[in-house]
Amino acid sequence: MSKIRGFEIAKGFEDKDVNIPVRKTKYSAGYDIEAVEDTIIPSFKKGSNPTLVKTGLKAYMQDDEMLCLYNRSSNPKKKGLILANSVGIIDKDYYGNSDNDGHIMFAFYNIKEEDILIKKGEAIGQAIFEKYLIVDGDTAEGERTGGFGSTSKE
């Protein structure tokens, strides 16, 4: 069977008891993603960086697809967690990159006054595979040279 799209355990996480994401109902668009380890997300302070919550996962997909990472609808109200980038975009060529093997992480800010603990195995977000289009005359030929944030590096 050829691989079309799906999730795998990223290198370095093989012994971490990572759960491959599943949809909870037959009409759910998103695959529920869990944290692979306990992570404390500190209360937001001006100038602070988002906290990256590891999943231990990577994703493979078709050439005209991307994986979008969305926050859980309950996270902002219940835990004060918002995604730093609103929606995370995982490109096809992020899979297996030389820096981190395509390891998927969620970048969170905590807007509550107290630190928030995310426990291993806790659902932190959703991932949805989506098709995308390119414009007429697109000439993109660049090659990914690394992992997280590498497409904006020169």
**pLDDT digit string (tens) for 30-83?**
999 999 999 999 999 999 999 999 999 999 999 999 999 999 999 999 999 999
Does residue 52 belong to any structural domain of this protein? yes
Number of structural domains found in the chain: 1
In a 10 Å sphere around its CB, with 0-12 CB exposed, 13-18 middle and 19+ buried, how is residue 21 labelled?
Answer: buried
Could you tell me the CATH number of the domain that includes residue 25? 2.70.40.10
Does residue 124 belong to any structural domain of this protein? yes
**Which structural domain range is residue 99 located in?**
6-133
Residue 151 pLDDT class (50, 70, 90 cuts): low
Does residue 152 belong to any structural domain of this protein? no
Distance CA 101, CA 13 (A): 11
Does residue 112 belong to any structural domain of this protein? yes
Does residue 147 belong to any structural domain of this protein? no
Does residue 138 belong to any structural domain of this protein? no
Does residue 47 belong to any structural domain of this protein? yes
Does residue 144 belong to any structural domain of this protein? no
